[in-house]
Amino acid sequence: MAKDRLSLTFHGAAHTVTGSCMQFTHEGKSILVDCGMFQGSRTLEQLNVEPFAFRPADIDAVLLTHAHIDHSGMLPKLVKHGFRGDIWCTRQTADLLQFMLADSGRIQEYDVERRNRRRDRAGEEPLEAVYTEKDAMAAWRRCRPVERGESFEPAPGFSACLWNAGHILGSASVELQADGVRVMCSGDLGPEYHAFLRDPSGPSGFDYVVCETTYGGRVREKVTLEERRKLLEAEVKAAITRGGNLIIPTFALERTQELLLDLAHMLRDGSIPNVPVFIDSPLANEVTSVFARYSAELEDTGGIDVFAHPSFHFVDDVKESIRLNSMSGAIILAASGMCEGGRIRHHLVHNLHRRNSTVLFVGFQAQGSLGRVIMEGAKTVRISGKDVNVRAQIRRIDNYSAHADQEELLEWIDDRGPISGSLFLSHGEPEGMEAMRREMQRRLPELTVRVPEIGETYELAAGEPAKRSKTGRSDLALTKGRDWQNAYADFATSLKARLKRIHDDRKREEALEAMRQVLDSYEEHREKKADRV
């Protein structure tokens, strides 16, 4: 009987930034590298509801690169549907997951409860939460911490080792060996001059490398920690001078703590006014406690507890959060970083329409997300069923990204070489991945570079280019970037203003009737087409 080759299947983060999940299979054993949640457009997020493309009970182990939800967020669903193996990760990642997964479980429960109220009024069948907080805690209890640089056997026939990825606290790249094949999965890689963490590291000489490309099409200006603080200082001073609030959508994990590090430094040396800083995110507050626990291992703190500054106010209570509506001249950090959920939406509703307010983006905004829509210049946005005019100053600082840019990604790939088989580019938007592919082919024209689709499977053999044995899902093309719901939101928010520009009530009614007729004619066309088939 022929021996099965090692195979690799991409179940997420292929031609999109989120939903990281790769399955390695050999001789009847399967392990996952990451099991993340899709985030972005509603169409993309619908993939979280679909059944897994594999039986969770058939997965022997999970190797987790880090605690961000787009890499870990489907672990509770995996356990809920039958996974009983270990989740291998660093100690820091395991500690963070206790809070990250529990929070995600509560969000799933709240979201389905809210949607079911609408469905009940419409007489529709209720939805079931993707998973609950209880499922999240069951997944967290399956974590098995391991030190970086320590070899371990996640499943028979597989050996693995974690290496520093320099992305967030506890982040790791995954070295995997099976069937005589060496593979390195980057996970998310951090940039140079990243606060708290050392630069990414790892061995060289692999058959296959899987590298993220979040910023594969961008080269950022390199700034030191001090230069970055000067950029933030200028934004803070300008925002406070305007008289309104400075609203910073921020990720609860890493970005919040980096901002607090810089704000504490500037408040201590008097380079910014001594204004109150509100951290309005229970999750960020819990994550910050984990950072404090590992403070002795963190760089750039100067041995000081930077999170205990008297100007910092950690907000947990909802009523206290609502009281911030009456504030002016404050700095408010709130999750989520892409404005897709959490308390940041509440603060945007109360500040976007104010000309003296400032919204400062300090992180990646995926296509289709509310943050991306605002950042790209929308005049009106729809938040929680409300149309909100955008009059606030919209600002951006790129240098807080926890992701390596193109030059840093290329350097990391070079350090992992020579690559004797193939390079896979994942975890990126199509434009960035294509930019990376072109640059790699220019540098190493003999190297096979693959840009896989979700659902594609490749056979891996030592020293040979990867061979595709299964094609990807053709039905997922519309999930990339903006979807019809983004287009609908744009249309709906501008409709009233456009109708007002028609200065005759009868003509407004005619315009509305014309739109109804277009929709009716489209439905009739579909029905006739279906009859012909």
Give the Å distances, CA to CA, from 36 to 59, 73, 164, 305: 15, 5, 20, 32
- For position 3, what pLDDT does the model report? 61
521 prior amide bond cis, ω within 30: no
Measured between alpha carbons, how far apart are the two ends of the chain, in Å?
46
Nearest to 411 by CA among 447, 445, 440: 440
- For position 502, what pLDDT does the model report? 86
Alpha carbon distance 257, 251 (integer Å): 9
| Count of Cβ atoms closer than 10 Å to residue 527 Cβ | 10
Partners of 105 in the β-ladder: none
- Single-letter amino acid code for the residue at 432: G
Residue ranges for the chain with pLDDT beneath 50: 1-2, 478-479, 533
**174: Cβ contacts below 8 Å, ≥ 6 apart:** 33, 63, 65, 160, 161, 162, 163, 184, 185, 187
Which residue matches tokens 């009614």? 509
- For position 477, what pLDDT does the model report? 55
Quote the pTM value.
0.84
Q: What is the pLDDT of residues 89-105, one digit of tens each?
A: 999 999 999 999 999 99
Nearest to 68 by CA among 212, 199, 165, 188: 188
Domains in the chain (CATH in brackets) are 7-219+402-475 (3.60.15.10), 226-400 (3.40.50.10890), 484-522 (no CATH)
